[in-house]
Structure 1
Amino acid sequence: MVDEQVKREELIRQIASLPMGSLTKKPVKGREYWYLRVKEDGKRRELYVPRDEVEGLRTQIALRERLEQELAEVGQREAPFRAEAFEGSVLVGEELREFGGPGCKL
């Protein structure tokens, strides 16, 4: 369990250091330009990416996607919450009044 938590924390740290978004290519006046498409404050923005930085950015985005998938798999291996694992009972009406004892105002 501790190893899983350490792995989750490391994955989260690595993911946070990588860029978010997706690369898109747009033709402008007969030339192709690359943009990083991201969401900020619920709005889509496109940030220009110089041609010589496209491959490095593409590699980082692919790594982020792979790490996010790995993080999701680590989360699935954790024990899921099961309501039936907890035992309890609920007192209502007359049972609740009896439980409260004399002088209880329910």
Structure 2
Amino acid sequence: MMVTVTARVPAEIRRQGNAVLEQLNATPTELIRAAYEYVLATGQIPVAQDSAGRDASELPVEKQRKLAEMIARTTFDVSPSLLDFDSYKQIRAQGLAEKYEALG
């Protein structure tokens, strides 16, 4: 079963990142999958430096926990019936509708 992951990224980072991914002949989906595989393999967030030169491994434990919670809140299972839709927007809308309906 596949799931959809939604993330907020600054527009300029996305633009630059997509340009690099294109040069690597890779997609954002492959990048996200690789990031999850890294987390599973290492038990750590991939190292990325912020503007102050700190990497993600220097995040306080509480911020790491909040980040993990945010990832959990912004993902949902994609049932096989959703794969019949033509676009990501349709899949996301239906998946969110199912998630909200499950809340009761």
**TM-score of the superposition, structure 1-length normalised?**
0.28
More strand by share: 1
Max Rg structure: 1
More helix by share: 2
Higher relative contact order (CA 8 A, sep 6+): 2
**TM-score of the superposition, structure 2-length normalised?**
0.28
